[in-house]
Structure 1
Amino acid sequence: MTELVGSLCWGAGIEAQTWDFGNAYSHAPEDIDNSRHIVIWGRNVARTNMHLLERLLAAKKRGATITVIDPLFGPTARIADRYVCVKPGMDAFLAMGIMKELLRLGLEDRVFIERHTVGFHDVEQLLQTISLKEIERYTGISRHMITELAQLYGDRPTATYLGLGMQRYANGGNTIRWIDALVAVSGNVGIPGGGANFGNLQVSECFDKAALTLPDRKTVSRTWTMMKQAEEILRADDPPIEMIIVTCGNPLAQVPNTNRMKKAFASVETVVVFEQFMTDTAAAADYVLPVAASFEEEDAYCSSMYHAYLNYGPKLIDPPGEAKPDLWIWTELAKRLGFGDAFAYTRDQFLAMALRPLERYGITLERLKTEHRVLLPVDPVPWHDRRFHTPSGKYEFTSATARQKGKDGRLQMMYPAESEEANPLLAAKYPYRLLTIHPLRSNHSQHYPLIPALQAVRIEVAADVATEKGLIDGDQARVYNGRGSVEGTVKVLDGAHPGTINIDEGQWGAFGGPVNVLTSDLESDNGCGSTIYDCLVNIEKTMSKAN
């Protein structure tokens, strides 16, 4: 059996926080009421965290300040007191600059640093090797703004909400670690109203996943990262891949380097896809098994990065035609392979297994079905007891976990792989930075066939790119690099960082996508995440609006 590990979504950031804190935990949503300042760093709240947006508006009304740090000026920035337009992929350098000023101003929390952390001397040494002038050049942020942000972090409690995009670079894990370090140095770890809020693995830890996945039954397996699956499929020979089964995904739209993924899928004898729609991946399959949608089967749902509520989803209608729940398909397959006993449980029994650790808190399947929503027993202010899950039991600026894995463990000075700093020849050929943010009205690629307004590629360009290339709203253009090209309609962005282009991710091939024909399948610095945003491109006009 071949297992895919890592994550296209948030893997680099989760690993980074595991190195720093020992785990990736976030504060409860209502803890924002304790924050004096709120920093939204690379999180597109208006599109991806709407419940937080409502709380931001309430926080601003009561007097908290809101700062948005992002290469793109969007709806969240419009409600902010301060918008900081950082160069894509250079967030770590901004965190370094803020920390340098924090130390210069004497605003660091020395008690926390001396009692509850290890490795700060390594950070101080590295900070001495870079000047604020260099940081201004790398980030596009003025010294005045860096000083202002240092004062903000020193005026705690300051809550930081981190997004996923900035860890989708070759330096992505290091970026999250620098922001974590800034939060720690400023004394905003383990206090009400603070936190480095990225993922919240407290939620998933509440369940007995082993009872469902039976890891002890596994005898022989190999692992590939999600990012490198195409490359590994193509070169596998001991044994070669003879069958691919795809469930709960659309890899020919969502996995980076689409053209290589297509080649990998075409090389395999049998491809089976469980789907509700004829996606790009389903269209490439030998067999498509129709599956039930979420309202057509009973289940329980939880959040991975914001709130800690467990929600009950009853079955509302029967699935159409021959569509079956995924669980039914896997159960029937297990029967035919001779280990059906491992799946010989009702849906209620499976759910009860997962909830077993919660019984001591009075949370049972019966209660969930009755109340429909139950708050899980998680810590609303992680690390308040200063007991970190690291090998030292402290916050680790220099990570022992990383060193156990053969990494250096110290914070680094790193650039995106595709940048003028790391690869000037590539940047000369492809001078613009491509972002591929989450679409407004689709959960990744899921809803494109349902919403006609989504079924065309929109190429959003910074004002300087439009000027350089003679582009205006409504022009047709082609974005390209050495991996592929995408054509679409131009929209000039106000307030975007110079040299930036965005094409929303998830677009199907039938509608002009996917944008992942352009993106790289490299792994992040810690090997656990994708580098989808680490992507240089060029652009050319193909047709004027007037034509």
Structure 2
Amino acid sequence: MIKKVFCPLDCFDSCAILAEVQDGRALKLSGSKDHPITQGFLCKKGYRLLDKVYSEERIKKPLLRVKNDFHEVDWNTALDLIAERIEEILKRYNSSAILYYSGDGYEGYLRNIERLFFDYLGGATYSEGSLCWGAGLLAQKADFGNSLCHSPFDLFNSNWIVLWGRNALWTNLHLYYLVLKAKKQGKKVMVIDIYKSPTFKIADIGIVIKPSSDSYLAYGAIKCIIENGKEDRNFIDNHSIGFEEVKKIAESLSYKEVEEKCGISKAVIEQVAQVFLQKPVSTFIGYGPQRYTNGVNTVRTIDYLVAISGNVGIKGGGANFAHRFTENLEPVFKDDKRAVKKRFYNRAKLGEYLKSLSDPPIEFVYISAGNPVSQCPDSDLVFRELQKRFVVNVDMFLTATSYASTLVLPAASFLEKEDIFIPNMWHDYIGISEKAIEKIGEAKSEVEIINELAKRLNLDFPIKSEKEWVDVVKQHLEKNLNIKLEGHFTRGCAIDVPWEDRVFLTKSKKFEFKNDILGVAVPCTDDSQKLLKNQLRLVTIHSDKTLHSQEFFERKKLAYINPLDAKRLNISDRDRILIYNGCGGFILNVCLSEKVGRGFIIVEEGFQNEKIETINSCLFGFTAEKDSQAAFNSNFVFVKKVAT
């Protein structure tokens, strides 16, 4: 028997999966050949999802933590404890004394029922800001009015494909596959990054720049285009505002400054300009360039380059960052009229908010589909502050966060429940995911847990099954998107080329080089700190073996360092080192690599040791502009060799 499901991971590709089921057990997962994006294959993490489902390490029953030991309890006991604590908090304070943390460890839409539940309580303390893409979203909202991607297949209309800070081989495999097909048709590829990522292997032009210097490169190319009179005057004059200020900034910028900031030559700057002028050029912006304190500014300058070179609103063009085609739809699982006590915290500063929020203080934390101790900055502080409170953690496995939790509830896997998946990162194929197998152990879905809690608290809450909620969401999407959701998947919108009509969703209805709130983006870096002796910038990157803190393959805790930096620090290949700063420290082994530039160290994200220490122990809660997201890569560490 074949069951049609969807990959639950937080990923650009949002793959359609066929689960082969026999005698109630899933035997094999494969990519749907019918799905236009998946095209019959999955990434290596996708193929390992079955190992997760049937892992012996899965939590089978609710767990109550007493000191550092976990004890199994039945569901009634666990749910009663949660309901009793919520009732106590509502009597003593109000619902905003409850903090709700929903991560991106599971992408099914029905998980949002948790938000609706807390709205019915009166509104909790909810998250705002982002850990991974908020700066880019804010940037494109300022420039375009929303962040929208071209159809994935529109790149076949391009002359050049630019992957700017996007290691597609590891993070967007089906885009990588399409780029390979496009190359066979004669399309050219330029890759820009701060190190020679695995995606450089498909580059016709590969450019390595210094961390956080992207806006200088973008402005350098803009300067070159303007000097040669190649800017798209029709677009600029008729469909944009604020260009003259950008022009003045570009004209005042020297190539020497760009060369110094980026670590490249003038010839490379001119080469980038020439590529963008060979339109149509399809640009894919990754999340790396905006993981700094100047992240919003950085993405805006790349948008500027795309616009000035005439690549906005044309086939084969685009500044593709995210695809928020449902951005303006009313959410199904939200009731602001009931949430009169709601307030907000910033995810990048979770530990600080837990420590400082008052009137009322945070007494109860509900964590679902997330591992904030591993993923939030200043993870040691997050861990300490969570331990002081009543914390509910819904997960399939014991994580770093579980060890700071009071109760850990066993979550159902993506194969054990019905759901609907609405992608918003690259493509727009909405998916309906069937229930493929029965739940393992005593696992429950988000819908089941919330239904039980709502009953115990006597809330006037809409009690529905997963199937009923899927139908509600389907009807909502069909009505508002004017589509018919049938079968395994359906395209959510018919926009192949965003902004083709040159009508933008900004206040002016034009592309805004100058925005009322953010002003004009400028060439800058995040050099607010002066690099001290023995300090290196810490850059955390996504791994091909994990998805954030979800481990799919065993990996070594390695820190990649340029050999010249290692020599200066008296460090050799495979040495054991401590990286540390005023926030915390972490121990890894060194891997010397010429692919990494001078002055920074690269470490894959999500590392955790047996002491529940994580690599994020070394990351202060810095944020990009307007607190839009965590500025992970604006952190610096000292490095020293330690005994083996």
Structure 2 length normalisation: TM-score? 0.78
Which residue among 250, 258, 274 is the counterpart of 1:127?
250
What's the counterpart of residue 257 of structure 1? Answer: 378
Which residue among 185, 209, 218 is the counterpart of 1:62?
185
Distance 1:243 1:29, change over 3 A: same
Which amino acid in the other structure matches residue 362 of structure 2? I
Distance 1:508 1:522, change over 3 A: same
What's the counterpart of residue 111 of structure 1? Answer: 234
Contact 2:384 2:404 in 1 (8 A): no
- CA distance in structure 2 between the aligned counterparts of 1:385 and 1:363, rounded to whole angstroms: 22
Which shifted more, 14-23 or 74-83?
74-83
Deviations 1:57-98 (A, max 9, x none): 111111111111001112210110111101011111111111
Post-superposition offset of 1:363: 4.3
What's the counterpart of residue 436 of structure 1? Answer: 540
Structure with bigger helix share is 1
Contact 2:156 2:316 in 1 (8 A): yes
Post-superposition offset of 1:378: 3.7
Structure 2: gaps spanning 5 or more residues: 1-123
Contact 1:457 1:513 in 2 (8 A): no
Contact 1:486 1:513 in 2 (8 A): yes
- CA distance in structure 2 between the aligned counterparts of 1:152 and 1:433, rounded to whole angstroms: 30
Which residue among 496, 514, 529 is the counterpart of 1:423?
529
Which amino acid in the other structure matches residue 289 of structure 1? L
What's the counterpart of residue 51 of structure 2? Answer: none
What's the counterpart of residue 49 of structure 1? Answer: 172
Which residue among 573, 592, 598 is the counterpart of 1:492?
592
What's the counterpart of residue 31 of structure 1? Answer: 154
**Matched residue of 2:501: which SS?**
coil
Post-superposition offset of 1:206: 8.2
What's the counterpart of residue 375 of structure 1? Answer: 491
Which amino acid in the other structure matches residue 329 of structure 1? I
Which residue among 153, 166, 175 is the counterpart of 2:289?
166
**1:392 pairs with 2:508:** yes
Please show how residues 309-324 of structure 1 align to structure 2 within 5 Å: 309-324=429-444
Contact 1:206 1:358 in 2 (8 A): no
Post-superposition offset of 1:493: 2.0
**Matched residue of 1:239: which SS?**
coil
- CA distance in structure 2 between the aligned counterparts of 1:159 and 1:442, rounded to whole angstroms: 28
Which amino acid in the other structure matches residue 101 of structure 1? C
Contact 1:207 1:356 in 2 (8 A): no
- CA distance in structure 1 between the aligned counterparts of 2:338 and 2:609, rounded to whole angstroms: 39
Contact 2:548 2:605 in 1 (8 A): yes
Post-superposition offset of 1:226: 1.1
Contact 2:447 2:465 in 1 (8 A): no
- CA distance in structure 2 between the aligned counterparts of 1:158 and 1:372, rounded to whole angstroms: 33
- CA distance in structure 2 between the aligned counterparts of 1:156 and 1:286, rounded to whole angstroms: 57
Contact 2:190 2:206 in 1 (8 A): yes
Please show how residues 401-412 of structure 1 align to structure 2 within 5 Å: 402=517, 408-412=518-522
What's the counterpart of residue 414 of structure 1? Answer: 524
Structure with bigger strand share is 2
Post-superposition offset of 1:353: 2.0
Which residue among 390, 400, 415 is the counterpart of 1:280?
400
Which residue among 402, 411, 415 is the counterpart of 1:295?
415
Which residue among 612, 620, 629 is the counterpart of 1:520?
620
**Matched residue of 2:642: which SS?**
strand
- CA distance in structure 1 between the aligned counterparts of 2:437 and 2:533, rounded to whole angstroms: 54
- CA distance in structure 1 between the aligned counterparts of 2:534 and 2:362, rounded to whole angstroms: 35
Which residue among 297, 308, 324 is the counterpart of 1:201?
324
Post-superposition offset of 1:275: 1.1
Which amino acid in the other structure matches residue 328 of structure 1? E
- CA distance in structure 2 between the aligned counterparts of 1:312 and 1:34, rounded to whole angstroms: 30
Deviations 1:308-365 (A, max 9, x none): 11122211112222211111111211122222x4331222221222222443577455
Which amino acid in the other structure matches residue 465 of structure 2? T
Contact 2:575 2:641 in 1 (8 A): yes
Distance 1:255 1:430, change over 3 A: farther
**Matched residue of 2:163: which SS?**
strand
What's the counterpart of residue 352 of structure 1? Answer: 471
Contact 2:220 2:269 in 1 (8 A): yes
- CA distance in structure 2 between the aligned counterparts of 1:373 and 1:461, rounded to whole angstroms: 44
- CA distance in structure 1 between the aligned counterparts of 2:178 and 2:216, rounded to whole angstroms: 29
Q: Report how many aligned residue pairs link the two structures.
A: 520
Deviations 1:346-396 (A, max 9, x none): 22221222222443577455x2xxx21211124111000001000000000
Superposition RMSD on alpha carbons, in Å?
1.8
What's the counterpart of residue 481 of structure 1? Answer: 581
Contact 1:46 1:76 in 2 (8 A): yes
Which residue among 186, 192, 195 is the counterpart of 1:72?
195
Post-superposition offset of 1:525: 1.2
- CA distance in structure 1 between the aligned counterparts of 2:574 and 2:409, rounded to whole angstroms: 40
**Matched residue of 1:161: which SS?**
strand
**Matched residue of 1:536: which SS?**
strand
Structure 1 length normalisation: TM-score? 0.91
- CA distance in structure 2 between the aligned counterparts of 1:28 and 1:472, rounded to whole angstroms: 47
What's the counterpart of residue 564 of structure 2? Answer: 464
Distance 1:126 1:362, change over 3 A: closer
**1:185 pairs with 2:308:** yes
**Matched residue of 1:216: which SS?**
coil
Contact 2:484 2:490 in 1 (8 A): no
What's the counterpart of residue 445 of structure 1? Answer: 549
**Matched residue of 1:212: which SS?**
coil
Distance 1:46 1:513, change over 3 A: farther
Post-superposition offset of 1:263: 2.5
Which amino acid in the other structure matches residue 398 of structure 1? K
Which amino acid in the other structure matches residue 477 of structure 1? I
**Matched residue of 1:474: which SS?**
coil
Deviations 1:284-314 (A, max 9, x none): 1111111111111111223221121112221
What's the counterpart of residue 224 of structure 2? Answer: 101
- CA distance in structure 2 between the aligned counterparts of 1:107 and 1:60, rounded to whole angstroms: 26
Contact 1:42 1:163 in 2 (8 A): yes
- CA distance in structure 1 between the aligned counterparts of 2:482 and 2:259, rounded to whole angstroms: 54
What's the counterpart of residue 605 of structure 2? Answer: 505
What's the counterpart of residue 405 of structure 1? Answer: none
- CA distance in structure 1 between the aligned counterparts of 2:426 and 2:387, rounded to whole angstroms: 39
- CA distance in structure 2 between the aligned counterparts of 1:511 and 1:375, rounded to whole angstroms: 46
Which residue among 249, 255, 259 is the counterpart of 1:136?
259
Contact 2:534 2:638 in 1 (8 A): yes
- CA distance in structure 2 between the aligned counterparts of 1:12 and 1:277, rounded to whole angstroms: 31
- CA distance in structure 2 between the aligned counterparts of 1:2 and 1:169, rounded to whole angstroms: 26
What's the counterpart of residue 71 of structure 2? Answer: none
Contact 2:225 2:273 in 1 (8 A): yes
Contact 2:560 2:596 in 1 (8 A): no
Post-superposition offset of 1:261: 1.1
Which residue among 134, 142, 155 is the counterpart of 1:19?
142
Q: Taking every aligned residue pair, what percent have the same amino acid on both sides?
A: 36
